[in-house]
Structure 1
């Protein structure tokens, strides 16, 4: 049995995720009015013993955000949330194998992600810890596997 290798599409998706995270992390206050109107729900997922389902809109609602869908494909759906505490990306998958492929491709870039059954939330680590009690899941550190720096000639 051959090991699973990421497809070009999954690598491109992971690459666009990184660019999106960089763009949204550096974004201005253009959606501040919308974020200020959003109020988080008072019920946490772990308090009632549930895990967020793999639907972008439901996960966004659990976090108190009005999501903007960015990608709607067969392998995944992505939505962006802009809030006062920070911006984050919610990615859901129709099957667990698609999530594992996505995580494998994202591991090239490293970083921390909140990971549940058929979903991933990408945000700054502090925000991930704040979202975890509402959504469940675990914070996972992905190791970057890019090329090592070349030795210096001294």
Structure 2
């Protein structure tokens, strides 16, 4: 009798594909609280883990003017609020710069094409552009990411022909 009960209790029938998916899903969902319990850069005991070299803006991109400004250590003065873009100007010890954000990538591309007429160097990210002197852009790039792009102007020069 005992042997029969043990066989019944431990007999195993292979799971159906639907049961297998349900078990896998349940297992994955059980791990969510474990991974969500620590914020980035902390372990379960509250100690810090080494931070990666990924700029903070990469985690929040595409960002709002205020978010990028905060990451760069400035309080922006919003000077343009339009459907196609928002612009805020920052005055810091590193220099002055303009942060422009766009609701869609196509607006950023159009803005850059227009800026090409004037030339200049810009820090460009996902749906945002920072305009500043080249010496200011590299320190900002280290904080917020993006790519430094030099746009060549065209047309008559200021000195005339």
Please give the range of the TM-score, normalised by the shorter of the 2 chains.
Answer: 0.5 to 0.7
Structure 2: gaps of 5 or more residues:
1-50
Q: Secondary structure at the match of 2:62?
A: coil
RMSD: 2.1
Normalized per residue, the structure richer in helix is: 2
Q: Aligned match of 2:98 in 89, 96, 101?
A: 89
Indicate if the aligned counterparts of 1:45 and 1:135 stay in contact, CA closer than 8 A: no
Structure 2 matches for 1:129-144, cutoff 5 A?
129-144=138-153
Runs of 4+ deviating beyond 3 Å = none
Indicate if the aligned counterparts of 2:105 and 2:127 stay in contact, CA closer than 8 A: yes
Larger Rg over CA atoms: 2
Q: Which residue of 2 aligns with 1:50?
A: 58
Structure 2 matches for 1:5-154, cutoff 5 A?
46-47=54-55, 50-51=58-59, 52-147=61-156, 149-150=160-161
Distance change >3 Å, CA 99–CA 109, structure 1 → 2: same
Structure 1: gaps of 5 or more residues:
1-42
Distance change >3 Å, CA 93–CA 145, structure 1 → 2: same
Indicate the structure whose relative CO is greater, using CA pairs within 8 Å and at least 6 residues apart.
Answer: 1
Q: CA deviation at 1:54?
A: 2.6
Q: Whole-Å Cα distance in 1 between the matches of residues 130 and 96 of structure 2?
A: 11
Q: Whole-Å Cα distance in 2 between the matches of residues 123 and 129 of structure 1?
A: 10
Q: Whole-Å Cα distance in 2 between the matches of residues 62 and 44 of structure 1?
A: 16
Q: CA deviation at 1:145?
A: 1.3
Q: Secondary structure at the match of 1:88?
A: strand
Distance change >3 Å, CA 122–CA 66, structure 1 → 2: same
Distance change >3 Å, CA 45–CA 123, structure 1 → 2: farther
Q: CA deviation at 1:45?
A: 7.2
Taking structure 2 as the reference length, what is the TM-score of the superposition?
0.62
